[in-house]
Each structure stands twice: as C-alpha cells, then as structure tokens.
A and B are shown apart, each in its own frame.
Chain A
Amino acid sequence: ETGVTQTPRHLVMGMTNKKSLKCEQHLGHNAMYWYKQSAKKPLELMFVYSLEERVENNSVPSRFSPECPNSSHLFLHLHTLQPEDSALYLCASSQDRQSSYNSPLHFGNGTRLTVT
C-alpha cells in the first residue's frame, strides 16, 4: 500500500461517544498533520507532529486528542464532541515540516465525521 491511508472513511457518533481516527503513511515522511475541513471554510490546521513530537497545536479544544506512536502512524482521539465538530478530517504527511518547497503535503482521503 502506498500514500496516506485514513480509516474509517465515514463515522457517525453521538456526543457522548469516544472514537478514534487513524492515519498511516507509507512514504517514509518525517512529519504528519491533522486538518479539519468544514463546509465553505478553508482547511484548518489542527496538529503537527515532527519525528513523533507534537510541534503545533492550533488552539484546538481538548475534546480532540492526537497521538503519534511512531513516524508512520497518527491518531485523533475524539470524545464529547459537539455537532459543530462535524466535518471532513484530513491527515497529511510531508518529508519535512519546515519546507513545503521540496516537500509538499500528501493528503489521505479523509474521514467524514458526523456528530449527532
């Protein structure tokens, strides 16, 4: 398998549920990212990991909890979400977090999350 793989593709959860999104990259990249895409809004960066260390947290509510156990895997743990958290969650990776010049982002196909 090549590229960036996200599971599940679709997720419906209640506000009291706990669920996790999974991302795996097969590109040998050193940096991984979580983005959120809401309807008619730009992609919003949520978290950045470089060499398994979190380097960016864009004021994301604590009900979103990332985990990066190794350079190939990234999780987003979800609990007590709100209906406004319904969105497309995209995982991405790049060779180097500091240079988009020679290392553009490679995205997964996303998880479409609906919070009821």
Chain B
Amino acid sequence: DQQVKQNSPSLSVQEGRISILNCDYTNSMFDYFLWYKKYPAEGPTFLISISSIKDKNEDGRFTVFLNKSAKHLSLHIVPSQPGDSAVYFCAASANFGNEKLTFGTGTRLTIIP
C-alpha cells in the first residue's frame, strides 16, 4: 500500500503560468516532506521541503503548501519556465529520518513554450 501518492502521472503547463503538483499521504506519523526534481538520465535533486509545524515554505519561484488535516501537500511553481520540465517526486519521512524516506511515483511536468 502506497503511503505517498502522486495521482497525476503527467501535467502540461504553458510557460509563464503556474504549475501545481499534488501529493497525498496516508501515514499520520510523517512530519517532514520534500520535493525532488529529476531530469532524464540524471538522479533526483532536492528542491524544497517543509516540516509539519509549518503550512507553507517558499523559495524563489517554488512554494510548498502543507494541509495536515487533509494529508495533502502541493508544490507551486510560478512563473513556470521551460527548464522546469522534469519529473517531480514527493517524499515524506517520520522523525525527520532519511532512512525512512517514502517516495511517491512522480509527476512528469512539461512546460509548453
């Protein structure tokens, strides 16, 4: 049973618009959430994170929102740029641990010029 779910395998967004990637989780013990970005033929790279004591974290064009009651988080990218085209993985951990990091299946984002 998948504890971290990304229900949209793919998403296409016009350049300059907002991209919203969603992630749902089932384990109420998760207290730290991360987003990773992956280009083809490369490994995932860390993008942004949020702990359960916050509901929003912003880093430049990237903002992550956490709704603990709904067990839902989202990544907003605005404005979207062609270089944002990649696969985005949501991940969650309990007790902030790296060795118990649980990943989603990823969402492929395509930015249309």
Binding site for B on A (CB under 8 A): 4, 6, 9, 31, 33, 40-43, 45, 48, 55-56, 90, 92, 94, 96-101, 103-110
Closest to A56 in B: B99
A55 vs B100: C-alpha distance when bound (angstroms): 11
Q: B99 near A109 (CB under 8 angstroms)? A: no
Are A103 and B98 in contact, CB atoms less than 8 angstroms apart? Answer: yes
Interface residues of B in 80-109 (CB under 8 A from A): 89, 93, 95-99, 101-106
Provide 7 A-B residue pairs closer than 8 Å at the C-beta atoms, listed in order of the A residue.
A42-B2, A43-B103, A56-B99, A94-B98, A97-B97, A103-B98, A109-B42
Chain A-chain B contacts (Cβ-Cβ < 8 Å), number: 76
Q: Establish whether residues B43 and A90, one from each chain, have CB atoms under 8 Å apart when the complex forms.
A: yes
**B103 lies within 8 A of A42 (CB):** yes
B contacts, CB < 8 Å to A: 2, 4, 9, 32, 34, 36, 41-46, 49, 51, 89, 93, 95-99, 101-106
Bound Cα distance A97, B100 (Å)? 9
Nearest Cβ on chain B to A2's Cβ, whole angstroms:
13
B92 CB to closest chain A CB, in angstroms? 10
Given A31-B98, A42-B2, A43-B89, residue A101 in contact with residue B32 (CB < 8 A)? yes
Q: A31-B98, A108-B43 are in contact. Are A40 and B105 (CB under 8 A)?
A: yes
Query: Looking at the complex, which one of B4, B34, B43, B95 makes contact with A107 (CB distance below 8 Å)?
Result: B43
Contact partner of B98 (CB less than 8 A), chosen from A4, A6, A98, A109, is A98
Closest to B6 in A: A42
Q: How far is the CA of A111 from the CA of B99 in the complex (A)?
A: 21
Question: Considering the chains assembled together, what is the distance between the CA atoms of A99 and B34 in angstroms?
Answer: 12
Question: In the complex, are the beta carbons of A101 and B51 less than 8 A apart?
Answer: yes
In chain B, what residue has the closest Cβ to A9?
A: B41
Are B46's CB and A105's CB within 8 A? Answer: yes
List of B residues within 8 angstroms of A100 by Cβ? 32, 34, 49, 93, 96-98, 101
Task: A48-B99, A101-B32, A101-B49 are known; give 13 further A-B pairs, CB within 8 A.
Answer: A31-B99, A33-B98, A42-B4, A42-B102, A98-B96, A100-B96, A103-B98, A104-B34, A104-B49, A105-B36, A105-B98, A107-B43, A107-B45
